[in-house]
Structure 1
Amino acid sequence: MSSNILFSFLGNEDITEKLAIKLNASVGQVLFRKFPDGESYVRILSDIKDKNVVLICTLHQPNDKFISLYFFSKTAKSLGVKTVCLVAPYLSYMRQDKIFHPGEGVTSKYFGELVSEFFDGIVTIDPHLHRVRSLSSVYSIPNMVLHAAQEISKWIELNVSDPVLIGPDEESKNWVSLVAKNANAPFIILNKTRYGDRKVKIELPDLEMYNDKTPVLVDDIISTARTMIEVVENLKDTKMKAAIVIGIHAIFAGNAYQKLIDSGVGSIVTCNTIPHPTNEINISDELGKGIQQLLQKLN
């Protein structure tokens, strides 16, 4: 009988089931709910003594989840677990990794310190590490940083004829180039100027040599979708086919998803790090390998 037991936070049931099959692990029963006054309640119903407990909880909208994560971990430890780990396919609070304006705090560091206090390890997919070297500089617990590039490349090879990959800015170059290499496709990187959370300006190079190809826009996080919308609208002035948008993390804040559809995009595809109707790329294989490696480290 496996000494590993997985638990799903609300909304993470599908990927938890996939991981349980890959890891030959059971899925535990836990009750998450709120009292009428909004306080959080957690009750672990499964026997977890001396087991490796893994909680699957992707962290979009983290403020609504954080106290429940804390209660879960503390409760699990009080019940005599061997280890308790967090699998956060999408990891929040990674963008504010430096002080941009006087009076700000480095909230990625603060959040990392908090999580590190009550989990023994963490697994995630493509966190926003553009200005820090590694997740270990933010989290003091053992961690596994996994990547969706290989699965994205496979999807492109199977579903797109004559693709040219387009990265929206210089920050995307390293991993867009990797996706392109694995998919045996050319790539270009655009120049982006950001004027705020919802306003960007994109400069397209001469794309005439790619007129017979399908543009595949690839980014790690689609939040307001302003970057993708701007690129799609600029591509309308070329002779290229309708663009395909691929994102790892489908946040789609507010009505961003509808706005992206309305921009004239050909199709929208995301990884299943955040549950969304566009989830066509399954990254549970990578997560499963990462969980196994993390538990080996801890045991």
Structure 2
Amino acid sequence: MTAMLFSMPGNERLTASIAEHTGWATGTLEVRRFPDQESYVRLRSGVSGSAVAVICTLARPDDQIMRLLFAARLLRESGARSVHLVAPYLAYMRQDRRFKDGEALTSRQFAQLLSSEFDGLVTVDPHLHRYADLGEIYSMETASLAASPLLADWVRANVDAPLIIGPDSESEQWAGAIARLIGAPHAVFAKSRRGDRDVLIAASDLGAWKGRTPILVDDVISSGHTLANAAREIIDQGFPPPICLAVHGLFAAGAEALLREVGCRMVTTESISHASNAITLGALLGDALARQMEGGAGRLRITPE
């Protein structure tokens, strides 16, 4: 199989990691903006007959989506056999129902946009809250990868006597999986949300695990308020500031400073480029992409061996 990888701006390091693992060539897309902020996209590599993948994590998607769709259409028009998207962070999964009358169901609309231009999608731990599977809204092939084994490997290699803590019930799937994989105890707090940046944390009693290193685990660090409030509860119980371990480091404005003020160290995967990136995804993404390009991935949940 002839395959080629293309990086959208800001994804060069992740693209190089996938290329190193797979041995595939990297092509060149010239992407820039005109003075009026419209996007310019030019293909500078031959792709005729090749399976191609565009690497573009979709944090802050509104700044990226048009040039991404233009690039996909251009690759297909230039003779690519298939066009795939590797988006380790998948945006627009939050609005998975109409919470109020008249709201746009943006998760479905965004899925339709991407499915219209790509043959396949590879992503990591998307926010599947009310959807059982990405196939419910995406009409292309999808591979949804679990990063918890990679997070567990990092904890195993870097932390003695860890205590894994989920800040809320939704984080249980990551906290519980990591704890099982490394044989560590874990606890899950309860959260009530009063607004995007206003959350209350009800902490469990952690007294039985004094002397262990607390690690707060979540899928996304966004505003940072959930993790910061949970960290304060942990500190109040006599523990040192926890390590905040997450799959996706979105870091909305002020989030990083908020967590540093509490004393937290932040560790994330490279799904979104950030100084906290310490967990590589190249092998995980490359293997899944290869299976998908060869027609064997489909709409599956894949975890590393």
TM-score by length of 2: 0.95
The one-character-per-residue Cα deviations of 1:16-40 (angstroms, maximum 9, x if unpaired) are 0110111110000110001111110
The one-character-per-residue Cα deviations of 1:252-281 (angstroms, maximum 9, x if unpaired) are 00111111111122x110100000000001
Report how many residues are paired: 297
Q: Which secondary structure does the structure 1 equivalent of 2:294 belong to?
A: helix
Q: Which secondary structure does the structure 1 equivalent of 2:267 belong to?
A: strand
Structure-2 separation of matches of 1:172 and 1:282: 21
After the TM superposition, which residues 1-299 of structure 1 pair with which residues of structure 2 at under 5 Å, given as runs? 3-265=2-264, 267-297=265-295
Structure-2 separation of matches of 1:19 and 1:261: 31
Structure-2 separation of matches of 1:291 and 1:245: 29
Structure-2 separation of matches of 1:168 and 1:234: 10
Q: Read off the aligned partner of 1:276 and give its amino acid letter.
A: H
Q: Read off the aligned partner of 2:168 and give its amino acid letter.
A: D
Q: Percentage identity across aligned positions?
A: 38
The one-character-per-residue Cα deviations of 1:127-168 (angstroms, maximum 9, x if unpaired) are 000211001112110011111111100100111111111111
Residue 242 of structure 1, CA deviation: 2.5
8 Å Cα contact 1:50-1:80 kept in structure 2: yes
Q: Which secondary structure does the structure 2 equivalent of 1:219 belong to?
A: strand
Q: Read off the aligned partner of 2:270 and give its amino acid letter.
A: N
8 Å Cα contact 1:210-1:240 kept in structure 2: no
8 Å Cα contact 1:272-1:281 kept in structure 2: yes
Residue 298 of structure 1, CA deviation: 7.4
Q: Which secondary structure does the structure 2 equivalent of 1:99 belong to?
A: coil
8 Å Cα contact 2:31-2:67 kept in structure 1: yes
Residue 183 of structure 1, CA deviation: 1.5
Inter-CA distance 82–119: structure 2 relative to 1 (3 Å threshold): same
> Which ranges of structure 2 fall in alignment gaps of 5 or more residues?
298-305
Structure-2 separation of matches of 1:287 and 1:139: 19
> Which ranges of structure 1 fall in alignment gaps of 5 or more residues?
none
8 Å Cα contact 1:213-1:241 kept in structure 2: no
Structure-2 separation of matches of 1:175 and 1:292: 26
Q: Read off the aligned partner of 2:45 and give its amino acid letter.
A: S
Structure-2 separation of matches of 1:29 and 1:154: 34
Q: Read off the aligned partner of 1:45 and give its amino acid letter.
A: R
Residue 212 of structure 1, CA deviation: 1.4
Q: Read off the aligned partner of 1:273 and give its amino acid letter.
A: S
